[in-house]
Amino acid sequence: MPNTVVRVAEVVEEAPGIRALRLVRADGLPFDPHPAGTHVDVIGPTGILRQYSLCGRPDDTSSLLIAVKREPDSRGGSEALHTVAENDKLEIGEFRNLLSLAPDADRHVLIAGGIGITPLLSLAYQLHADGAEFELHYFARSRESAAFVSLLEERAEFRDRVLLYFGVPRGEQPAVLAEVAAGLSSAAHVYTCGPEGFMEQVTGVFAPMVGETRVHVEHFTAAEIDPSGDRPFTVELDTGEVFEIPADRSILSVLTDNGIEVFKSCEEGICGSCVSGVLEGTPEHRDQCLSASDKASGDQMALCVSRARSEKLVIELY
């Protein structure tokens, strides 16, 4: 589907190096509704595409809110979005959601580290609207470096549900998290986003308490992959077409080179755009977009980074 042209309606400097952009459709139409936890491709003024979580109210179809952190080692994406001004035009792609709320949870625990507050803010809006039991724990280096603090403290739907932790060293965070985990039942679900090391600590603390499949993680960066042991394998599409995947090529690249249309975006295993069904065979998951339960089921995979444990995979393109 074609991208949608949007206009920057408002720019807010949320914290040093973090700015919030409110986007409206350039044609004046409303956006389609989107579930909490949705992210979207944003093409900035330099043409670089990056994924950003939608952190406004999911039921607000008049505008979208994203927060952009200027990364010091950025390849130009975040830096470019720190130059846009009100009324500038951008393009966005389709909505995608990889951080869905579990319908069977007796309590939802949201745990954010730094800029990881963005997708969890969307979940908090939805949980409040649903009347669900939830709490939001937000860790940041300092009050000054944290985004959306005033909103979290002042809005009625958040202020009694939010606990803020400023300046807690990484080594002391597991003890704080353990106190939170101690009060949960096995029916609780945990959602986390932030730096990789932070999310690993959250998973390490909560997975033994509620189960690994009940800890939901939203990644911003690709996993490091060692390709030294990669071997070739065969992929067959459900249409009957067969392709050989060399040890040094991805499924996605081979299919694309052979004229097979596969939706793609980040090509790093983060965004989930190339996730497809697995009908036969055993995938070797290397992505950061599928949940632990999705990977355990073995019925879908990210074609851009994941490979095969079996000699052959039969896949269905979504």
172-196 per-position pLDDT tens digit? 999 999 999 998 999 999 999 999 9
pLDDT for position 6: 98
From the CB of residue 180, how many other CB atoms can be counted at a distance below 10 Å? 18
Identify which of 246, 244, 228, 248 has the alpha carbon closest to the alpha carbon of residue 236. 244
> Is residue 279's pLDDT more than 80?
yes
pLDDT for position 73: 64
pLDDT for position 92: 95
CA-to-CA distance for 219 and 290, rounded, in angstroms? Answer: 10
Q: Binning pLDDT at 50, 70 and 90, where does residue 209 land?
A: very high
pLDDT for position 75: 55
258: phi then psi, degrees, rounded to nearest 5: -100, 15
Residue where the block lists tokens 């109210």:
57
Identify which of 218, 138, 140, 133 has the alpha carbon closest to the alpha carbon of residue 183. 133
Segment 164-169 shows an average pLDDT of 96
What are the structural domain ranges in the chain? 4-97, 108-218, 227-316
Superfamily of domain 4-97: Translation factors (2.40.30.10)
CATH, range 227-316: 3.10.20.30
**Overall pTM > 0.75:** yes
Strand, helix or coil for residue 47? coil
| Fold of the 108-218 domain | Rossmann fold (3.40.50)
> Is residue 74's pLDDT more than 70?
no
pLDDT for position 91: 96
> Is residue 267's pLDDT more than 80?
yes
Lowest mean pLDDT among 8-12, 38-42, 135-139: 38-42
pLDDT for position 76: 54
Interior angle at CA 97, CA 295 and CA 44, nearest 5: 120
Segment 219-238 shows an average pLDDT of 84
What are the pLDDT digits (tens) for 77-134? 688 899 999 999 999 998 988 888 999 999 999 999 999 999 999 999 999 999 999 9
- 11 bridge partner residues: 21
274: phi then psi, degrees, rounded to nearest 5: -95, 10
> Is residue 223's pLDDT more than 80?
no
Cα separation of the two ends of the chain = 14
Torsion of CA 35, 37, 40, 45, to 10 degrees: 130
Q: Parallel, antiparallel, or unpaired for β 189-193 and 4-15?
A: unpaired
Q: For the chain, what is the mean pLDDT?
A: 92
Q: What percent of the chain shows pLDDT beyond 90?
A: 75
> Is residue 296's pLDDT more than 80?
yes
Segment 300-306 shows an average pLDDT of 94
Segment 232-247 shows an average pLDDT of 95
Segment 160-181 shows an average pLDDT of 96
Segment 298-305 shows an average pLDDT of 93
CA-to-CA distance for 140 and 57, rounded, in angstroms? Answer: 23
CA-to-CA distance for 117 and 145, rounded, in angstroms? Answer: 12
Q: Parallel, antiparallel, or unpaired for β 18-25 and 4-15?
A: antiparallel
Buried b (16+ CB within 10 A) or exposed e, 183-221: ebeeebbbbbbbbeebbebbbebbbebbbeebbbbbbbe
> Which residue type is seen at 227?
P
Q: Binning pLDDT at 50, 70 and 90, where does residue 221 land?
A: low
- Please give the radius of gyration of the chain, using alpha carbons only, rounded to the nearest integer: 20
Segment 39-53 shows an average pLDDT of 89
Q: What percent of the chain shows pLDDT beyond 70?
A: 97
Question: Containing H/E element for 139?
Answer: strand 134-140
